[in-house]
């Protein structure tokens, strides 16, 4: 599925700007989102691009977002890595935001 976000006028040109844009959009949607967050997993500590929580739900719903401002499509390996990370830290959701899409 290829989706375009209509809330962003121009695609950021730097990866940190993409992370900031994603966090800002999620905060505007009443989630609590932050960038460059270090989280604990069963395998140790890792940094995630964006961590968002919906604290209105009990228990809170946690989403990990990886932002890829790459010149190529995101590989299946990256998707599997995020799936493992979501499982290892107990998050509810994992999203990948990609500028170029995904491998088939």
Q: Where are the domains of the chain?
A: 37-104
**In the structure encoding, which two tokens stand for residue 86, read together?**
């979501």
H-run or E-run covering 18 = helix 15-28
Beta-sheet strand order (sheet of 93-98): 32-41, 44-54, 61-68, 93-98
pLDDT in tens, 34-54: 999 999 999 999 999 999 999
Question: How far is residue 39's CA from residue 23's CA, in Å, rounded to a whole number?
Answer: 16
* pLDDT confidence tier of residue 13, bands split at 50, 70 and 90: confident
**Answer CATH for 37-104 from 3.30.420.40, 3.40.50.300, 1.10.4030.10, 3.40.1350.10:** 3.40.1350.10
């Amino acid at each position: 599925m290829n989706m375009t976000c209509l809330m962003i006028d121009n695609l950021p040109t730097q990866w940190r700007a993409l992370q900031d844009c994603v966090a800002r959009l999620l905060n505007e949607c009443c989630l609590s989102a932050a960038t460059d967050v270090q989280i604990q997993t069963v395998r140790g500590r890792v940094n995630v691009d964006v961590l968002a929580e919906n604290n209105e739900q009990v228990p809170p719903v946690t989403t990990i977002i990886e932002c890829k401002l790459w010149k190529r499509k995101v590989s299946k390996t990256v998707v599997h890595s995020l799936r493992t990370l979501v499982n290892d830290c107990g998050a509810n959701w994992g999203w990948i935001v990609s500028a170029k899409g995904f491998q088939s």
